[in-house]
Every structure is written in C-alpha cells, then in structure tokens.
C-alpha cells in the first residue's frame, strides 16, 4: 500500500442499477472519502453513474466477469498489488490482496428456488474460493454467522460493516415525481422482484382482506433481475408496481406512506427497514433473525408465511378504515427512541472507521515485514 490514506476500489457498482448492495457501495465509498481517503475507483467500460468522490480510473476494454476476473487483476498486478476493496459481493479470485464485502450467504443456503441456476452455481464456487484467499467482511452478525458456518471461518475474523443511510442528491423541486402518489392511502414495500424478498407473501396477505385493499393501495418499488427466479406479478387495481425510481421519488414515497412492510424471507441486512425508521415511519417486518438482531423493538413483526396471521396484523396496524390510522397503535419511533446500537453502529461513518482500522493494521504489518 502506497499510503495509509489511499484505497483502491472495485467500481463495478457504478455500472449497475441501484439495489441494496449498490446503495451500500455508494454509501461506504462516500464515507471513506469523507474520512480523507484518496479513492482510486477502478471502472469498466459500462459506466452508468458518475461519482462525485474519488478518482475514476478506466481499466481494460471489457465488462462483466471477464473484466472483473481478468483485466482488473492484471491492472492491479501492474500497479504494485495494492489492497482492493470490493464492496459488492465479488472480487477477482486470482488476485490475493482483496478485502471483499459478502452481504449475505443466500447463494450458499439450500434454497435453489431463489436464484437462476447459473448465478447460484457461480456464487457457490466463487465465494468459497474468495474465502480462502481474501479478507471477508459482511453487513450483520447474522450474515457473519452464516458465512462462518458455510465457509469454515472464525466468526470473530469477519468484520461487520453495518449499512447506513445513503441517498443520491435529491431535487425536491421535481414536481412530476412528487405528485406521482397513489390515490388512496398506501402501504409501501421496497425490494427486488425475487422470491427471497417475500413480496408474494405480502400480496397474499393484502388481497386476502377485501376491505383492506378497498381502502388502501399497495405500492411496490423494486426492479427485476435476470439472476433471480421469476414469480408471478399479481395484476390488481390496488397493487401498484414501480421500477427504477429516483431517490427523490423514493424519499417522497417513504415520507407519505402510512406503513412500510418488509416481508423478506431472508436478508443480510434489510436497508428499507433502516430507511423507514430514518423517516420515522412505522414498519412491519417478517419475523426473521436478522431483523430482530438489527432493529429489535423499533419495528413490529409477523409471520408472513402464515397468510391469515399476517393479514390480521395488517388489519390490526392499519384498520379497515384509513381514518383509523390516526388512532392506531403502530409504533412510530422517533430518532431519539432508536437504540444506541442503531444510532451509532448502523451508519456508514462507523463502518468506514472499521475499514480504516483494518487498513492501518495491515499497513503497520507490511511496514514491520519490510524492516
């Protein structure tokens, strides 16, 4: 490493749609930049988003797997083999100086229905290979436990880099998007269209109560990916689907919803929960371990695998009549009521400090070895 304050970044996330993993990548890079790091962001030919931090360096002539696994490590080897920070699950496997954030162990779990066959097989080979030769980090204690289990790692050697809040610069004057709200009061769900996110479970609960979808809309914001198994997109006048919304619009939808619902079957973290709490919105989550670890009593829980139970919870929290929303007892936590853990740990600033500590230790180790 040339400098204690220099870091080389795998910038593939700049070529991808912004989902949870990419939002983490943007947020952690911004936090590292604000801590005074010189960011050398290595990018392929498919740049889609221009960062306002760091130095962008174009590498190679290709994109995709060939770029990441061939051109990127070749470039790094020609530039002194610096540590490469990979914020988005994967890294060049033949390169031996990687720090890679693996956001969850979903591809290693016995749920083939969650992913396309090719995607699952690639990750089931790649992640164990990286674990043998790279520094692995993740985004929650739950994910650290699952990765340690599958990869035969010491859990105490897996740093946890918690997500924080990151939105691209917003323009509140964009009236077109700000006016694009549902006509009725609405429930908001933010998540990609794949089985792991449990959107189908929420739809089943929502549609099982006629009076509920008579008085409320269900707004689902998320993109489709060819890497995930398809599920049926229900066509119903009270179910609204939106893709590729700007952060300006997303913030507006958060601010105006009556309830944020996160019905995921499996998560490494669950950024929409944190975002909803950031906007002081009530949240109803599926009762999975990672949500209980991270968000505790700040949110409400139900079992979305049980349609009748989750439907009853929606009724309990919203009521059949939107006018009841003023009197319901759904928790609406303010920032001051969030736990010290959430306020202090669930931030990119805190996670950037964890990375800085690791880099400093590695720098000292390298200096000692070179003496």
Domain limits of the chain? Answer: 6-164+347-370, 175-344
pLDDT at 44 over 70: yes
Return the percentage of the chain with pLDDT > 90, whole number. Answer: 71
Residue 197 has pLDDT above 70, yes or no: yes
- pLDDT at residue 69 is higher than 60: yes
- Mean pLDDT along residues 260-269: 98
Kindly report the pTM of this predicted structure.
0.90
Q: Which residues, 6 or more positions from 110, have their beta carbon under 8 angstroms from its beta carbon?
A: none
Neighbours of 151 (CB within 10 A): 17
How do residues 2-25 score in pLDDT, each as one tens digit? 455 899 999 999 999 888 999 999
Residue 364 has pLDDT above 50, yes or no: yes
- Distance of CA 176 to CAs 168, 189, 258, 301, 325, Å? 18, 21, 21, 35, 27
Interatomic CA distance for residues 177 and 162, integer angstroms:
30
Q: How far apart are CA 169 and CA 237, in angstroms?
A: 33
Q: Which residues pair with 302 in a beta bridge?
A: 286
Fold classified for 175-344: Rossmann fold (3.40.50)
Cα 223 from Cα 191, distance rounded (Å): 7
Among 75, 81, 52, 79, which residue's Cα sits nearest to residue 62?
A: 75
Position 122 scores a pLDDT of 95
Which position has the higher pLDDT, 244 or 142?
A: 142
pLDDT band at 1 (very low <50, low <70, confident <90, very high): very low
**Exposure on the CB side of residue 289, measured as CA atoms within 13 A:** 9
In this model, does residue 180 exceed pLDDT 80? no
Q: 253: which 2 tokens?
A: 């939808």
Is 299 a residue whose pLDDT tops 90? yes
Q: Is the pLDDT reported for residue 174 higher than 70?
A: no
Identify the bridge partners of residue 286 per DSSP, sorted by sequence position: 302
Of the listed ranges 196-200, 222-226, 323-327, the least confidently predicted one is 323-327
155 Ramachandran zone, left/alpha/beta (phi>0; psi -120 to 50): alpha
Specify burial of residue 118 (Cβ count, 10 A radius: 0-12, 13-18, 19+). exposed
In this prediction, residue 137 carries a pLDDT of 98
Collapse the DSSP code of 160 into the 3-class scheme (helix H, G, I; strand E, B; otherwise coil) and give the result. strand
DSSP assignment letter at 242: E
Strand order across the 217-221 sheet = 239-242, 217-221, 186-190, 259-262, 283-286, 300-302
The mean predicted confidence, pLDDT, of the chain is: 88
Three-class SS of residue 326?
helix
Does residue 358 carry a pLDDT above 60?
yes
What per-residue confidence (pLDDT) applies to 244? 84
**Whose CA is closest to 21, among 195, 295, 251, 225?**
225
**Residue 323: its pLDDT value, please?**
57
Measured between alpha carbons, how far is 265 from 111 in angstroms, rounded to an integer? 11
Predicted confidence at residue 225, as pLDDT, reads 57
Higher-scoring residue by pLDDT: 239, 180: 239
Nearest-10 crossing angle of helices 141-151, 117-133: 90
pLDDT at position 303 is: 98
User: Do 6-164+347-370 and 175-344 agree at the fold level?
Assistant: yes
Show the tokens assigned to 358: 């690791």
Q: Which residues of 235-270 are buried (b: 16+ CB within 10 A; e: fewer)?
A: eeebbbeeeebeebbbbbbbebbbbbbbbbbbbbbb
Tokens of 262: 């996160």
Give the per-residue pLDDT at 326. Answer: 47
Confidence of residue 334 (pLDDT cuts 50, 70, 90): very low
Q: Which two tokens stand for residue 289?
A: 């371990």
Tokens at 307, concatenated: 């349609």
The CATH-assigned architecture of domain 6-164+347-370 is 3-Layer(aba) Sandwich (3.40)
The whole-angstrom separation of Cα 85 and Cα 105 is 19
> Residues 71-111: pLDDT tens digits?
999 999 999 999 999 999 999 999 999 999 999 999 999 98
Dihedral sign for Cα atoms in the order 153, 269, 317, 296: positive
């Amino acid at each position: 490493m040339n400098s204690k304050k220099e870091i080389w970044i795998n910038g593939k996330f700049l070529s991808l749609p912004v989902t949870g993993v990419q939002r983490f990548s943007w947020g952690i890079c911004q936090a590292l930049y604000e801590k005074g790091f010189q960011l050398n962001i290595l990018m392929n030919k498919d740049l889609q988003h221009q960062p306002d931090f760091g130095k962008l360096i174009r590498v190679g002539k290709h994109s995709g797997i060939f770029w990441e696994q061939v051109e990127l490590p070749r470039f790094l080897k020609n530039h002194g083999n610096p540590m490469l920070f990979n914020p988005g699950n994967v890294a060049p496997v033949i390169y031996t100086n990687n720090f890679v954030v693996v956001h969850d162990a979903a591809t290693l779990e016995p749920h083939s229905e969650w992913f396309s066959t090719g995607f699952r097989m690639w990750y089931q080979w790649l992640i164990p290979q990286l674990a043998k030769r790279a520094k692995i980090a993740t985004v929650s204690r739950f994910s650290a436990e699952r990765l340690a289990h599958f990869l035969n790692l010491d859990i105490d050697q897996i740093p946890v880099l918690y997500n924080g809040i990151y939105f691209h610069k917003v323009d509140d004057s964009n009236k077109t998007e700000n006016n694009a709200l549902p006509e009725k009061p609405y429930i908001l769900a933010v998540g990609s269209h794949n089985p792991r996110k449990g959107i189908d479970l929420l739809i089943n609960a929502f549609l099982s109560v006629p009076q509920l979808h008579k008085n409320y809309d269900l707004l689902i914001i998320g993109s489709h990916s060819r890497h995930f198994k398809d599920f049926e997109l229900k066509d119903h006048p009270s179910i609204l689907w939106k893709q590729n919304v700007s952060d300006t619009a997303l913030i507006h939808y958060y601010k105006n919803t009556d309830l944020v619902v996160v019905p995921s079957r499996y998560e490494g973290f669950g950024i929409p929960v944190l975002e909803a709490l950031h906007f002081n919105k009530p949240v109803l989550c599926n009762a999975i371990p990672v949500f209980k670890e991270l968000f505790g009593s700040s949110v409400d829980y139900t079992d979305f695998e049980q349609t009748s139970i989750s439907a009853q919870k929606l009724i309990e929290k919203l009521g059949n009549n939107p006018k009841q929303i003023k009197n319901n007892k759904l928790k609406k936590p303010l920032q001051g009521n969030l736990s010290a853990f959430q306020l202090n740990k669930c931030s990119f600033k805190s996670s950037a400090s964890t990375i800085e500590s690791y880099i400093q230790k590695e720098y000292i180790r390298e200096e000692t070895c070179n003496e």
